[in-house]
Amino acid sequence: MGAGAVIVGTGQAGFQTAASLRAEGYAEPITLIGGEPQIPYQRPPLSKGFALGQQDFESIELRPEKFYQDHRINLIAGKRVTQIDRATRHVKLESGEELRYEKLVLAVGSRNRKLTVKGAELDGIVYLRSLEEAVVIRDRLKNANAVVVIGGGFIGLELAAVARTMGKAVTVVEALPRLMSRAVAPMISEFFRELHTSKGITVICGATIVAIEGPDGNVRSIALSDGSRWPADLIIAGVGVLPNVELAQGAGLPVANGIAIDEFLQTDDENIFAIGDCAEFPCAFAGTRIRLESVQNAADQAQHVAATIAGRRSAYKALPWFWTDQFNVKLQMAGISNGHDRTVMRGNAEFGKFSLFYFKGERLVGIDSLNRPLDHMMGRKLMSAHVPLTPGQAADESFDLKHLAHTVGAAHH
């Protein structure tokens, strides 16, 4: 038996790689190793049900501990890999131990961008990525009165909704002119601004933080570039992430906005792959190299790399999709809408049931759906199979998307 596969990172991507390798019939040893002390768990609930106290750890673990024994996956939780020796195919751990690999998968994720503003070191400023941080947020939310969320992206808005649901006074501050602006069209941003406002949240866009103030070492207030000042005893910062590229960089592998991989999810070294949040890959749907932070991307790339290692090599071409839950509203996103030049609406905006179809020329590149689950699912099927849909068809409610999608045959997603 050889050295087998070593997977670095125990998030969704790392877990799924190990599970899929076994499902693919890979018989060599599998080691799944990462710095987090827990067995692999789902991250999406951390900013939703877990933060609200509705879900506990057991309900978010990806599989029970026994799964790893049953599938002969050597799970090493709580140990960090610090170095890759490509010449001898070893990884070195912080503890000094070494592990030999035949194939190495880097699923090392990303880390939060930290605030650098004056006062960023005060107590009462929290970030969310890990379970440990989620526990801090959940516990601190219980005793907080005034919560300021910095960053009007998905994580920030989901946590703002959680805090408001718990009865806190909540202010959201977004530097750009509208919410979730990197991901959605103005109409969707506006829908969510109205949603959050209607629930009693103060939403401030186009303002930046000048200083966080707390004369006694604890956060007390926040001063904005528009001259306003808001009381705060808890600040939740969701201002983006940075890919963890250092391990790859240290091994001389090319990095850009993430560890650089090709369409086979392979780095410059044919025995080393990178997947998930940490990896920059050529995306057919985006028409460019991108890096995605999502469950879909982690799970699909993991499944794909597992198939490749198990001997079924092919180019990666899964369609990106994503969701966010804010209050009782679920926004479903399919494709990559960046770079679109027109949008077409299907459904009824007044009743909050509509989808926006994003087109680049005549080509459908993305769909955002609110309370229109069939649009989302059929859109995924159509885009995955590259079945053309015209703007006219998208806008015409009498045009049957399900019928068109069924011409695709077997599901691609």
Partner 1 sequence: MPRVTYISAKGDVREIDVPVGTTVMSAALKNGVDGIVAECGGVCMCSTCHVFVDEKFFDRLPPANDTEEAVLEIAAVERQATSRLSCQIKVTDTLDGLIVRLPEKQR
Q: Which of residues 50-69 bind partner 1 (CB under 8 A)?
A: 59-60, 63-64, 66-67
Task: Kindly tell me which of 256 and 411 has the beta carbon lying closer to partner 1.
Answer: 411
Task: Kindly tell me which of 60 and 172 has the beta carbon lying closer to partner 1.
Answer: 60
The dihedral region occupied by 22, where left means phi > 0, alpha psi between -120 and 50, and beta the remainder, is: alpha
Helix (H) or strand (E) holding 324: strand 321-326
Q: Binding to partner 1 by residue 291, rule CB under 8 A?
A: no
Q: Binding to partner 1 by residue 395, rule CB under 8 A?
A: no
Task: Kindly tell me which of 315 and 411 has the beta carbon lying closer to partner 1.
Answer: 411
Collect all residues with Cβ–Cβ distance below 8 Å to 111 and sequence separation of at least 6.
Answer: 129, 241, 242, 244
Following DSSP, what letter does each residue of 159-192 receive, concatenated? HHHHHHHTT-EEEEEESSSSTTTTTS-HHHHHHH
Smallest distance from partner 1 to CB 137, Å: 19
Instruction: Indicate the pairing of strand 73-77 with strand 30-34.
Output: parallel
Total residues contacting partner 1 by CB under 8 A comes to 33
**How many Cβ atoms from other residues are within 10 Å of residue 413's Cβ?**
14
Smallest distance from partner 1 to CB 367, Å: 13
Task: Kindly tell me which of 193 and 381 has the beta carbon lying closer to partner 1.
Answer: 381
Q: At what angle do helices 295-309 and 12-23 cross, to 10 degrees?
A: 40
Q: Binding to partner 1 by residue 413, rule CB under 8 A?
A: yes
The dihedral region occupied by 39, where left means phi > 0, alpha psi between -120 and 50, and beta the remainder, is: beta
Are 232 and 173 in contact, with CB atoms under 8 Å apart? no
Stretch that binds partner 1, among 75-83, 210-218, 256-264, 295-303 (CB under 8 A): 295-303
Smallest distance from partner 1 to CB 302, Å: 10
Q: Binding to partner 1 by residue 38, rule CB under 8 A?
A: no
Q: Which two tokens stand for residue 203?
A: 């939403």
Smallest distance from partner 1 to CB 158, Å: 13
Among 112, 332, 343, 355, binds partner 1 (CB under 8 A): 332
Helix %, strand %, coil % of the chain (to 5): 25, 30, 40
Are 393 and 399 in contact, with CB atoms under 8 Å apart? yes
Smallest distance from partner 1 to CB 300, Å: 9
Q: Binding to partner 1 by residue 73, rule CB under 8 A?
A: no
Smallest distance from partner 1 to CB 26, Å: 15
Among 28, 45, 82, 207, binds partner 1 (CB under 8 A): 45
Among 273, 325, 331, 355, binds partner 1 (CB under 8 A): 325
Are 124 and 214 in contact, with CB atoms under 8 Å apart? yes
Following DSSP, what letter does each residue of 82-141 receive, concatenated? EEEETTTTEEEETTS-EEE-SEEEE---EEEPPP-SBTTTSBTEE--SSHHHHHHHHHHH
Among 37, 339, 373, 388, binds partner 1 (CB under 8 A): 373
Task: Kindly tell me which of 24 and 190 has the beta carbon lying closer to partner 1.
Answer: 24
Closest CA to 201 of 224, 226, 173, 228: 173
Q: Binding to partner 1 by residue 378, rule CB under 8 A?
A: yes
C-alpha R_g of the chain: 22
Q: Binding to partner 1 by residue 374, rule CB under 8 A?
A: yes
Judging by beta carbons within 10 Å of its beta carbon (0-12, 13-18, 19+), is residue 282 exposed, middle or buried?
Answer: middle
Which residue ranges make up the site for partner 1 (CB under 8 A)?
16, 23, 42, 44-45, 59-60, 63-64, 66-67, 70, 295-296, 299, 303, 321, 323, 325, 330, 332, 373-374, 376-378, 380-381, 402, 405, 410-411, 413
